[in-house]
């Protein structure tokens, strides 16, 4: 199985970005932990980060061409308004899990709404880096159920 983890805008600043909200781990720290977990599950994993909506869409399209089986996506603020990213996930039909470090349901009202979540298997929010770990765990289980 091959999993691709996509991180959206401003997540390259993790570590120094609003540490009270997002913690002190860098994106590289989170990715390194996930790489180890993926190794333990025996699945391949790859990572992509961009601050640009179009680059994220291209990456989702490329996932289909590259035989990626599952996506973990933290769309950052695009979560709340990018119909284009939503449509890209729907278009490729690759199972996806939406993740957030912070609890988007406990913050400003605009963060509670995700236009992406309806085209995802599920959404995991508020567990910090463990949101990604939980997503990887669930995605691997789900994919193994459907492709033994
Ligand atoms: C976020 C939550 C979003 O509302 C915010 O715009 C982000 C990060 C999170 O991981 O908690 O950039 O996706």
Residues 12-37 have pLDDT tens digits of 999 988 889 888 999 999 999 999 99
| Shortest-distance atom of ligand 1 to CA 80 | 4
Q: What angle do CA 75, 77, 81 make, to 5 degrees?
A: 90
Q: Kindly state if the Cβ of 26 falls inside 6 Å of ligand 1.
A: no
| Shortest-distance atom of ligand 1 to CA 10 | 12
CA distance 145 to 92: 20
The domain tally of the chain equals 1
* CA distances to 10, 74, 95, 111, 131 from 15, in Å: 11, 16, 29, 21, 16
Residue 62 structural domain: 2-146
The CATH number for 104's domain is 3.40.50.9100
pTM: predicted TM-score of the whole model, two decimal places:
0.96
Tokens of 137: 């765990």
**Shortest-distance Cα residue to atom 13 of ligand 1:** 76
ipTM over 0.90? The verdict is yes
User: What is the per-residue pLDDT across 96-122, written as a single tens digit (0 to 9) for each?
Assistant: 999 999 999 999 999 999 999 999 999
């Amino acid at each position: 199985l091959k999993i691709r983890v996509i991180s959206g805008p401003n997540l390259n600043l993790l570590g120094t970005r609003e540490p009270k909200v997002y913690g002190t781990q860098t994106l590289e720290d989170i990715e390194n932990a996930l790489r180890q977990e993926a190794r333990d599950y025996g699945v391949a994993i790859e990572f992509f980060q961009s601050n640009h909506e179009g680059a994220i869409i291209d990456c989702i399209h490329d996932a289909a061409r590259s035989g990626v089986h599952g996506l973990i996506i933290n769309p950052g603020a695009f979560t709340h308004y990018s119909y284009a990213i939503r449509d890209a996930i729907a278009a490729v039909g690759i199972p996806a899990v939406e993740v957030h470090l912070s609890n988007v349901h406990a913050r400003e009202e605009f963060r509670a709404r995700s236009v992406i979540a309806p085209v995802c298997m599920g959404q995991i929010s508020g567990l910090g880096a463990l949101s990604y770990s939980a997503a990887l765990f669930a995605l691997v289980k789900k994919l193994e159920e459907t492709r033994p």
